[in-house]
């Protein structure tokens, strides 16, 4: 350890230095600094924090909202088709003279022992039984006219299950949601 002997001269010199006057405050300096800071773009870390943690206000209009919903629906349907697990039901392809089309309903419920279909086209009675495939998918086909149709699945005769892949839903007035299927005019 280095040791030095401090003399009176050293102490006086240190006192002189400690008493050296500082530059006086300049009222304009702070304002200049603040203007310079506010004129610059926010630092990246501040922008990132704001983006992640600051509350944001969502501004929207009806046209934008409708367009967004349509895009989301289109993408969802496209992805469902691409994955080979199309949202059920799929309005298909077999129009007849009365413009009734055959619609295939499909739902994945591997644990279910029985699945039936009820809707406004069955007067909400579980009249249509679905067939089970080996992979746990339940399916059936129903002929429906063009227009909106609400429906729901009934599992094992007691549990009402809303189709998780439906494009639209509507409140049933009793705290649950029915799936809505639109059969297009052909």
Partner 1 sequence: MEHEEQEREWVAQCLQGDAQAFRPLVQRYERMVRSVIRRLIAAEHAVDELAQQTFVTAYESLAQYSGDARFSTWLCQIALNKSRDAMRTWHRRPEEDINGGLELESAAAGPDEELEEKQRHAHLQAALRRLKPADREVIVFKYILGFSHAEVAKTIGCTSEAAKVRSHRAREELKRVLESMGIVP
Query: Using CB under 8 A as the criterion, which residues of the chain lie in contact with partner 1 when the complex forms?
Result: 2, 4, 9-10, 12-14, 16-26, 29-30, 32-34, 36-38, 40, 42-43, 45-46, 49-50, 53-54
Distance separating alpha carbons of residues 143 and 89, to the nearest angstrom:
12
Nearer to partner 1, 25 or 62 (CB): 25
Least CB distance to partner 1 at residue 58 (A) = 19
Report the residue number, 26 or 123, with the smaller CB distance to partner 1. 26
Distance of closest approach, residue 60 Cβ to partner 1, in angstroms: 24
Which is it for the CA torsion 73, 75, 81, 87, positive or negative? Answer: negative
Interatomic CA distance for residues 127 and 161, integer angstroms: 15
Q: Which is nearer to partner 1, 22 or 113 (CB)?
A: 22
CA–CA dist 169, 151 (Å, integer): 10
Backbone angles phi, psi at 67, to 5 degrees: -60, -40
Q: How far is the CB of 3 from partner 1 (least distance, A)?
A: 10
Q: Please state whether beta strands 115-119 and 128-129 pair in parallel, antiparallel, or not at all (unpaired).
A: antiparallel
Please, what is the minimum distance in Å from the beta carbon of residue 10 to partner 1? 6
């Amino acid at each position: 350890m280095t040791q030095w002997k401090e003399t009176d001269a050293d102490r006086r010199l240190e006192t002189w230095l400690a008493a050296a006057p500082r530059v006086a405050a300049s009222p304009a300096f702070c304002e200049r600094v603040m203007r310079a800071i506010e004129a610059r773009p926010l630092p990246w870390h501040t922008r990132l924090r704001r983006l992640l943690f600051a509350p944001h206000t969502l501004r929207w209009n009806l046209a934008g909202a409708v367009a967004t919903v349509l895009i989301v629906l289109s993408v969802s349907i496209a992805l469902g088709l691409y994955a080979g697990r199309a949202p059920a039901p799929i309005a298909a392809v077999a129009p007849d003279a009365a413009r009734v089309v055959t619609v295939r309903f499909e739902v994945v419920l591997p644990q279910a022992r029985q699945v039936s279909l009820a809707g406004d086209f069955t007067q909400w009675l579980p009249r249509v039984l679905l067939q089970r495939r080996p992979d746990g998918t339940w399916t059936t086909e129903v002929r429906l006219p063009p227009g909106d149709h609400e429906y729901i699945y009934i599992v094992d005769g007691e549990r009402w299950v809303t189709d998780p892949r439906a494009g639209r839903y509507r409140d049933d007035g009793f705290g649950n949601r029915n799936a809505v299927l639109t059969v297009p005019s052909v």
